[in-house]
A and B are shown apart, each in its own frame.
Chain A
């Protein structure tokens, strides 16, 4: 089997197309494993992983922890709210203290973009970026692309739309990198205020109309409006946003084709997506969550394989 070309998963930007395909093939095997009566393999029984979450997370953290436990790794958890970070310790000191307890891999979510990259240069452990500010969220992009591959057969040549708050979204940036590397066409949609400037330089198109966007695409990824990251008003009211950019069942019925509806969670029902759409058979939101565990198992397994 091939190996990953990287020693850390810091962002999709640093992966090759072959790396992504290797992760998908490995995730196929782990997806079979997590559907067994006993969902656990002993591969990583001598590996210890620290999950450092300097920012809130439910799904990603649970998903990583389950993935680690299903590979039989030892897991320690840390959240910034109850730690010495509050007492003024620096990131490198915090992590080096944890590594002094013989930890092999660090899964980190941090509010500052590039925190993972910075850490990987200063500490001796494998780093997995579980989201760094509005920069990248590589495992989410991998599981999104993996879910598209599962639903549509492949990613290459498919048309994928990302709708909503692109500006504050690390999911959007990682998704664009991953989808482009796998040969998909990408369109962004949302209020102009929530679209970064010069986004065309990433090789994607922008379309302000949701109706036109879903006409065009094979799969649509509805992003949450990240109110917690907004320092000013980007649109008049939530109700107006929902009217213009909320995906409804009427939108889907008006199409002459079936499109795949995705959402990275957490869903704001009635804002970017209505309840009927979120619960419809076209929505693969819960499949994404299941695939998330398989993808994270694959990433951790492949990175651990390089620890000698």
Chain B
């Protein structure tokens, strides 16, 4: 198993700043916008983006929620491993809001499809956008594309993109792993 660094800590930091600025361009002061981190791995990116928006760019109030899609997945009883649920915490009204989904890697698009269904349990958003750190090209099973991407990566099927976060894994880095 060999691995190659796609993004190091500095490059991740630059990408995060760029993503935060792009969000501000489209959402101004986030009055009508809510961020939703997708469980389990999207929440770290979502928290980072929120921290940047609040601390570095002076946005006062950025609502952030966490959405777990386990019960909305299309591979229940089909996957080898039992599915593991995580906490959903959405303490605001989604009705009429602009929702930005945040996830670390966009691969087949199936998680996002599930999230699009799941979020409807909380109301009818005005619109939904997608922000990802890594967009894996050529691997989509569904017609889903990100609105904001940190880096586009060409990875073949046997390869895996691994995003590691300081607060969870002890370092900020993105690896391409051959299996």
Contact = CB atoms under 8 A, between A and B. Distances in A.
Question: A and B from one assembly?
Answer: yes
A111 to B, nearest CB: 33
Interface in B88-129: 88-89, 117-118, 120-123
Could you tell me the dominant secondary structure of chain B's interface residues? loop
B93 to A, nearest CB: 9
B120 A29 contact: no
Contact of B85 (A29, A71, A308): A29
Instruction: Give the 10 A-B residue pairs with the shortest CB-CB distance, closest first.
Output: A1-B84, A41-B71, A38-B121, A29-B85, A43-B71, A36-B121, A1-B82, A3-B82, A43-B76, A32-B88
A33 B85 CA distance: 12
Contact of A305 (B68, B83, B88, B123): B83
Contacts, number: 54
Given A29-B85, A308-B77, A42 B117 contact: yes
Interface of A: 1-3, 25-26, 29, 32-33, 36-44, 71, 301, 304-305, 307-308
A37 B72 contact: no
A interface, over-half SS: loop
A43 B77 CA distance: 9
A281 to B, nearest CB: 25
Interface in B43-89: 68, 70-73, 76-77, 81-89
B74 to A, nearest CB: 9
A25 B83 CA distance: 13
Contacts of A3: 82
B77 A305 contact: yes
Contacts of B81: 1
